[in-house]
Chain A
């Protein structure tokens, strides 16, 4: 995994709560055996009409939002299905961070494995950020801070291990493979029975 880059971006706002992974990528796009190229299906049924033309009102179809790397979303983002296709699609869409007052467990785990940073902040802070999508936000992963142009720094929680992995580009599988002696020992202790 490549190290998490310095991130400065304006944001895209999807204010509704409980955006589930079926909305992030509908199940009919899960027949792929690849992980690349799913960005075109991100938020498919909100973003595209049945005839394939863009829904003009949808945030990701606004020309002004093109290239923005931060999504600010309502509470409980990523609930539902465990499909990792959801963060694959969001990263392919160009996103690097999701800001919400609550992010569902499995989605958060999956996001971290794909360099997509889950940023959980108080609901009031999230609401205020939603009002100012054109502010350039600075995500400082070393300090675990999201900074706004008016000088506010909002600390966000980030597991120490996840932070190290993101900063150093460490991949979890590599880390697990190095635990081989421990795994072997566990198996000898527990499976000898």
Chain B
């Protein structure tokens, strides 16, 4: 087992993760999770999204507290800029998912991380979202992630951390592969 040597500490409980993997490999039902977010319109392009409960390990679960994400658009879009754009929040999700993975893989491989910084840049031709040109897609044309990592390991071992993290990342998968998205509507109020 890859239980960390005493001197490597990236703050990841590898043993618990490996035990969970072992337990869930024979209990696919318990591995079924549902992540949830609730978005409430504020005004204009400004919205607030709350995250608290999720489902997993066969029952309802809750975060220690409720987390809030504020989204808006910048003033160049004639908005109030109360928060990051949803597209930037997606980049934040990618960067944080990959970085969590880097730490977990490093711990498993007994590599001490000293400093990890990811710069995530998504390029977008906004003629798509503005409806100027129907041949231009709405989403990112491409995303580039650049990692600067200071760790007690060789360059190839550090590259392997980042490669393995991509391989096991939920958000990397969600962005690189298609997902069926179902949006339904209920009319409420009077």
Q: Do A and B come from one complex?
A: no
- Show the binding face of B for A, using Cβ within 8 Å: none
Residues of A within 8 A of B (CB): none
